[in-house]
Amino acid sequence: MMEHINWYPGHMKKTRELIAENLKMVDAVVEVIDARIPFSSRNPIIDELVKNKKRIIILNKSDLSDHEANQEWEQYFRKRGNLVLTMNCMTGGGAAQLLKLLSRLQEEKNRDQVRKRPYRLMIVGVPNVGKSSLINRLTGKKSAPTGDRPGVTKGKQWLNLPGNMQLLDTPGILWPKFEDPKAGLNLAFCGSIKDEILDVATLALELISVLQRDYPSLLRERYKLEEISETPLETMEAIAMKRGCILPGKKIDYDRIAKVVLDEFRAGIIGRITLERASHE
Ligand SMILES: Nc1nc2c(ncn2[C@@H]2O[C@H](COP(=O)(O)OP(=O)(O)O)[C@@H](O)[C@H]2O)c(=O)[nH]1
Ligand SMILES: [Mg+2]
């Protein structure tokens, strides 16, 4: 289920308080981000919120992102003192590594203790990065508990993980970077905020503009284009011709081809693409 939350100041304040409260009970925070847009898919004040807790950053959807870029981002976050893992929470790729890493942390915590306490975790991230999928992967359940709207406190529940570890059942849903227009675009490309923010044709045109700059050969191969045109609009029209997205009167069906390109990008069909590189941040 995609979460479309209407963030307003009161909501954000409540979320902040809830996370602060939960933080007191956990040993580590697992921050899930979208590996295609690691910068845009991070909450703007995440560092301030989490402060000095141990942090594990999950570069999720790494099946959709550029392999080389994944490695750069891993390095980027590691250099800044985080633990980092690439994952695919849809198939469970990386889950074993994460459990191994957590169990090492659990042992460190309990090394000199007579009574071994569970190592406690919470998951945080903006909507659609894969928080629920991660919970399901770790607990082996089909569906994570719902009702995970910020500010709605239910009785806290700890889900038991193998190896004396416990996970808070509801993830901390953080607000996205909606004040940064570039981040807004990236989130919209990845389907993490509503398409209505821009009309679908304009959104696709923006995406094509990025793709023809950074991944021209993937674009050419996918849509069997002889060459990449000068302007994104020409490229979009060439793709529309190839796909037969033509209206009566030989007009281009911009909305239809826009949906095709966006859907194929989001599903990883155009190729493995990362929209933000660590070297540019
Ligand atoms: N390709 C791919 N899709 C994923 C991955 N993780 C989650 N998804 C999909 O992304 C969407 C959002 O996932 P969800 O767990 O609901 O995100 P949440 O809003 O953070 O809880 C769903 O359609 C998932 O199937 C991943 O690693 N790879
Ligand atoms: Mg969820």
| pLDDT tens sequence across 49-63 | 998 899 999 999 999
Residue 273 lies in a domain: yes
Residue 2 lies in a domain: no
Range of the domain at 137: 9-173
- Residue 143: pLDDT over 60: no
184 lines ligand 1 (CB under 6 A): no
Q: What is the CATH number of the domain that holds 152?
A: 3.40.50.300
In three-state form (DSSP H/G/I as H, E/B as E, the rest C), the secondary structure along 149-186 is CCCCCCCCCEEEECCCEEEECCCEECCCCCCCHHHHHH
Do 157 and 209 lie in one domain? The reply is no
The whole-number pLDDT of residue 177 equals 93
Do 217 and 119 lie in one domain? The reply is no
The whole-number pLDDT of residue 198 equals 80
Do 107 and 168 lie in one domain? The reply is yes
- Residue 4: pLDDT over 70: no
* C-beta of residue 182 within 8 angstroms of C-beta of residue 44: no
* C-beta of residue 144 within 8 angstroms of C-beta of residue 153: no
What DSSP assignment string belongs to 229-268?
-SSHHHHHHHHHHHHT-EETTTEE-HHHHHHHHHHHHHTT
- Residue 127: pLDDT over 60: yes
Between the CA of 4 and the centroid of ligand 1 the distance, in Å, is 14
The whole-number pLDDT of residue 142 equals 57
Task: Report d(CA 192, CA 85) in Å as an integer.
Answer: 21
| pLDDT tens sequence across 23-56 | 999 999 999 999 999 999 999 999 999 988 999 9
- Residue 18: pLDDT over 50: yes
Number of domains, the chain: 2
The whole-number pLDDT of residue 150 equals 47
Residue 193 lies in a domain: no
90 lines ligand 1 (CB under 6 A): yes
Residue 181 lies in a domain: no
Task: Report d(CA 199, CA 130) in Å as an integer.
Answer: 25
123 lines ligand 1 (CB under 6 A): no
Do 138 and 13 lie in one domain? The reply is yes
Which SS3 state, helix, strand or coil, does residue 85 take? strand
Task: Report d(CA 192, CA 129) in Å as an integer.
Answer: 8
Q: Which two tokens stand for residue 273?
A: 């693409």
Do 117 and 169 lie in one domain? The reply is yes
Mean pLDDT, rounded, of the chain: 92
Q: What is the CATH number of the domain that holds 205?
A: 1.10.1580.10
Of 173, 206, 229, at which residue does a domain stop?
A: 173
Do 218 and 263 lie in one domain? The reply is yes
Residue 115 lies in a domain: yes
Ligand 1 atom having least distance to the Cα of 125: 20
C-beta atoms surrounding 180 within 10 Å: 14
Do 97 and 229 lie in one domain? The reply is no
